[in-house]
Amino acid sequence: MRKRVAPALGLFFLSPLIGEFLLGNLPVTMLVALITLAPLYGGGALLVRELARRRGVGWPGIVLLAVAYGLIEEGLVTRSLFNPGFAGMDLRSYAWIPGVEVSAWWTVFVLGVHVVGSICVPIAVMESLVPARASEPWLRRPGLVVAGVLLVLGAAASAVFATDSYDPGFGRLAGVALLAGLLVFLALRRRTPAAPGTIRSGRGPGGWAVLAFSLAAGAAFWLPVMNVDALGAWLVTAIHLALYATVCVLVVRWSGQPGWGVWQRFGLAAGGVLTYAWHGFPQPPAVPTDPMADLIGNLVFAVAAVALLVTAATRIRSHAAGRYVEWVA
C-alpha cells in the first residue's frame, strides 16, 4: 500500500509546486495556498494519470485529459478564458476575437501551461521516481474517488476565493463543459494496438538530445510570452501553435522508433522542470512580495527541482541495471 500511495501523494503536491511555485507565479511566502491548490492541481493530475493508466491509453490520453483539465480550470473555475480583465490584464488588447469574445493569445498560452506544467511534467517526473511502477495505476477505486472529490473541492474553494468574479453566461460555461467532456471521451477510448511491423525505421534521439530539445522548446514558448507587447499577441499565438504542432509531430514520430524509452520521456520532463526553474527568476509574483524573499524562494525551489531530477535519474539507472542483471541471470 505504501508503494502505491507514496507516488500518488507525491504527485498531489508536486503538481502545484511545479505549476505555481517553481514557475515563479507564487512566492515561497504563499505556501499556505497549497491548501486549495493541491486539491485543484494535485487532484486533477492524479485523476488524469489514474484514468489514463487504468484505461491503457498512454500519453496521448494523458495529453487530451490535460487539455480537458485546463479548460475546466480556466473556463469554469477561474473563468479567465472569458474575463477580459482577468488578473488586472486587458485581454481585449491581446488577439481578442470579436463574437467569440476570447483572447486567442491567452487561450493558447494558458492551456499550454496547464497541459505541460500542471499535468504532464509532474506526472512524468513522479513516474520517473518510481520507474518500476511507472505504467501501473497507483490508486484503487476508493483512491480514484478521493482524487475526484479533492478536485471538486479544490475547484470550489478556488472559485470562492478567486479575486476576479466574472459571469460569462450559462451558454459559454455549458460550451466549455461539453468540450471538456468530449475530450475526456476521446482520451479514454481504447486504441487498437499497432500491428506488428509498423515501427518506423531509423533510431530516435537519445535522452540528452531530447533534454536539449525540451529546453529549446521551453525557451521558444516563454521568451515570446515575456516579449508579447513588443512582438504582438497574434504573432506570439502563431508561434505557440506552430510550437505545439512541431513538438507533437516530432515526439509522436520519435516514440515510434527503436530506442525510445524511459530516458527520452525523462528528458522531456526534465527540460520542462528546468525551464520552469529559470523562468521563476524573471517572473514577477502574482502577489506583493519582498524581492529578497522572492529571490530566496526561487533559489530554494530551483535547487529542490534539480535535486529531484538527480534522484529520478539515479532511480531510473538503478532500475535499468536491476532489469539487466535479472535478464542476464
Q: Is 69 helix (H, G, I), strand (E, B) or coil?
A: helix
Give the mean model confidence (pLDDT) for residues 1-12: 86
* 105 in Cβ contact with 233 (< 8 Å): yes
Contacts 24+ apart (CB under 8 A), 281-287: 281/24, 282/24, 282/226, 283/23, 283/24, 283/25, 284/24, 285/24, 285/25, 285/26, 285/27, 285/30, 286/25, 286/26, 286/87, 287/26, 287/27, 287/30
Q: Roughly how many angstroms between the first and final C-alpha of the chain, as a whole number? A: 29
In this prediction, residue 324 carries a pLDDT of 40
Determine whether 26 is exposed, middle or buried from the number of CB atoms within 10 Å of its CB (0-12, 13-18, 19+). Answer: buried
Residue among 6, 3, 33, 4 nearest 20 (CA): 33
Residue among 273, 238, 276 nearest 109 (CA): 238
CA dist., res. 101 & res. 87, Å (int)? 17
Q: How confident is the model at residue 194 (pLDDT cuts 50, 70, 90)?
A: low
In this prediction, residue 327 carries a pLDDT of 38
- Tell me what the pLDDT averaged over the chain comes to: 92
* E strands in the chain: 96-97, 102-103
* E strands in 48-187: 96-97, 102-103
pLDDT-wise least confident of 47-51, 161-165, 194-198: 194-198
Give the mean model confidence (pLDDT) for residues 34-48: 96
What percentage of the chain carries pLDDT values higher than 70? 92
Q: How confident is the model at residue 165 (pLDDT cuts 50, 70, 90)?
A: confident
Q: pLDDT tens for residues 76-111?
A: 999 999 999 998 899 999 999 998 899 999 999 999
Residues 6+ apart with CB under 8 A from 160: none
Domain that holds residue 138: 2-328
Q: With 50 as the cut, is the pLDDT of residue 72 above it?
A: yes
| pTM for this prediction | 0.93
Q: Say how many domains are in the chain.
A: 1
Q: With 90 as the cut, is the pLDDT of residue 193 above it?
A: no
Length of the chain: 329
In this prediction, residue 160 carries a pLDDT of 78
DSSP sequence for 208-248: HHHHHHHHHHHHHHHHHHHTHHHH-HHHHHHHHHHHHHHHH
In this prediction, residue 325 carries a pLDDT of 38
Q: pLDDT tens for residues 262-278?
A: 999 999 999 999 999 99
Q: With 90 as the cut, is the pLDDT of residue 329 above it?
A: no
pLDDT-wise least confident of 118-127, 174-183, 190-199, 272-281: 190-199
Q: With 70 as the cut, is the pLDDT of residue 1 above it?
A: no
CA dist., res. 16 & res. 34, Å (int)? 7
In this prediction, residue 323 carries a pLDDT of 57
